[in-house]
Amino acid sequence: MKIGELAEKPGIARENIRYYESQNLLHVQRSSNGYRDYSEKDEKELERIIALRKLNVSVKDILSYQEGDLSLK
């Protein structure tokens, strides 16, 4: 799916998605024409990121969690 479709589901700005990608929270494949091509896995990860951000978890801590260096307990 394209970035517009992905942004529409949770109702966030495309810029937020690009920011999460720039912070290495999302690792998106690109199609042959260079467009981002988001998978269902990317969508689930974005949902997790959004939920954690709503709980005021920092981007740095989310990255540490994704890398296995931090527990959410």
Q: What fold is seen in the domain 3-66?
A: Multidrug-efflux Transporter Regulator; Chain: A; Domain 2 (1.10.1660)
pLDDT at 72: 77
Looking at residue 71, its pLDDT comes to 86
CA distances from 3 to 16, 30, 46, 47, 62 (A): 11, 11, 12, 14, 21
Q: H helices of the chain, where?
A: 3-8, 14-22, 40-54, 59-66
DSSP string over 11-22: T--HHHHHHHHH
Residue 48 has pLDDT above 90, yes or no: yes
Is pLDDT of 24 > 80?
Answer: yes
